[in-house]
Amino acid sequence: MNPVLITPGATTLGQWRAIHAGAPVALDPTAWPAIEASAAAVARILARGDAVYGINTGFGKLASVRIADADLAALQRNIVLSHAAGTGAPSPVPVVRLMMALKLASLAQGASGVRADTVRLLAAMLEAGLVPVVPCQGSVGASGDLAPLAHMTAAMLGVGEIIVEGRTVPAAEALAAAGLAPIALGPKEGLALLNGTQFSTANALAGLFAAERLLATGLITGALSTEAARGTDTPFDPRIHALRGHAGQIETAEALRALMAGSAIRASHAIDDPRVQDPYCLRCQPQVMGAALDLLRQAARTLEIEADGVTDNPLIFADTDEALSGGNFHAEPVAFAADMIALALAEIGSLSERRLAMLVDPALSGLPAFLTPLPGLHSGFMIPQVTAAALVSENKQRAAPCSVDSIPTSANQEDHVSMAAHGARRLADMAGNLDAILGLELLAAVQGMEFHAPLRSSEPLEAVRALLRGAVPALVEDRHFGPDIAAARALVETGAVLAACPLALPMLAPLMPAPSMPA
């Protein structure tokens, strides 16, 4: 597989998506002159003898402490070791790889004062599949993701642990086995590697990529539920949505029409149906799912900008030999984006559970109670709906905004923080819950559709039904539900449901398409 070429300041969301999925990485060679010029500027700034934050001073509240030239190397090593103070479970390998690639792109813009050899080591670790163990907790999203990035940087010093092909080994041992030597940091380098939003951004991007898949899958399960309940596609008429004008609403309505086009189930009650309107969980799918799509696109725009930005401090301007202190490390944009993604995940799941609840209620769906042929003797889908309700409530609780929280740190020097890190980290658990919610709806919707036999649905929805029935037989009598739920969840999580009917979802080409990656 050809590597994704990281071009500093111009790498696309599709490329970040491919890196998260495991694609190899290479740095655009045109970046090296700017990297070298930035490091040379740091040397000239030092030679002037001025006190410059992060280069020859202490850090944070200790910024007023001047550091002697003889101690500058120790200063940079010390900040790494002292700041590697994270805790909790190791972050997922795909997220850490993405974080490393984001940091590589940031340093390569030539505004961080880092030497070419340091950038080369980070690139070589990515190429060799060396992924530092990075505890998932410990960042408040300003002044950058200090603790997570310190654990990454410690591995570059030969300290801590590295994951290699699924094995966790001492960092020094992993570097040596790959033919790499630990780095001795120069002036400014420790701070440049630790400062920045790359941990928060990597987690937020991972959440965005999952949300993209889940929104598209939720449209498919929603169309299946509409068929199972013998709902109408009239609310998806394009004239309705054109009058309101929201792009996401217009496009999700188009997708739902495409998914149901040619359905014999729909045709069977298109005329003289005594029901005037379907419940909101069916009728308002374009309004809810379209709003979620618009929200995800806004989050995607924010994260694309952030991923291509430089977020450490101070920043080096080689043309004037200046080191300017600012606050680009403050992750408020990432925190807002993560909150938007969380809201979308929660609402996609909430609407899905309402459809499932509608299907198991004979008064609403017209189907046998709890979707079992013999209700009473058998409980059918009674408790799977309860499980979905439990997961939806978990996601609603987790969707409370993190960006409005703040707690002062560093002796009140850093007195407003973004909480972007845990705002972004929570997205993985929320996405996992939504995998299960949509899997449960998939099981129930297909079960409900089959009460309309011999009538068949549309070609794309029948493809999804066949996919599920290849893994899970119809529920005739009560049986152990756990394996069925696990199988349906896996079809959602792996993207198999989406793959079963891609041509019916032209508007749901990925929000950020992966680049062409020939093997």
User: Which residues carry out catalysis?
Assistant: 53
Say what angle helices 247-260 and 459-471 make with each other, to 10 degrees.
70
> What are the residues facing 161 on neighbouring strands?
170
Tokens of 509: 């080409």
Backbone angles phi and psi of 119, in degrees to 5: -65, -40
Q: Which helix (DSSP H) or strand (DSSP E) does residue 106 occupy?
A: helix 93-107
The residue among 418, 427, 262 whose CA lies nearest residue 342 is: 427
Phi, psi of 66 (to 5 degrees): -80, 135
Burial state string for 453-487 with b = 16 or more CB within 10 A and e = fewer than 16? eebbbbebbbbbbebbeeebeebeeeeebeebbeb
Place of tokens 């950038």: 119
**CA distances (Å), origin 44, targets 72, 73, 405:** 15, 17, 41
Q: How far is Cα of residue 440 from the mean position of the Cα atoms in its chain?
A: 22
Counted residue by residue, the chain has a size of: 519
Tokens 């020094």 correspond to 172
426 CB-side CA count, 13 A: 24
The Cα 219–Cα 259 span in angstroms is 9
C-alpha–C-alpha distance, residues 60 and 50, integer Å: 18
Paired residues of 27 in beta bridges = 6
* Nearest C-alpha neighbor of 20 from the set 4, 31, 2: 4
Tokens of 8: 């500093």
| Cβ proximity of 107 and 192 under 8 Å | yes
**Which residue from 27, 21, 15, 3 is spatially nearest to 107, judged by alpha carbons?**
27
Helices (H), 164-284: 171-177, 189-194, 198-228, 238-244, 247-260, 264-268, 280-283
Q: What is the 3-state secondary structure (H, E, C) of 269-334?
A: CCCCCCCCCCCHHHHCHHHHHHHHHHHHHHHHHHHHHHHCCCCCCCEEECCCCEEECCCCCCCHHH
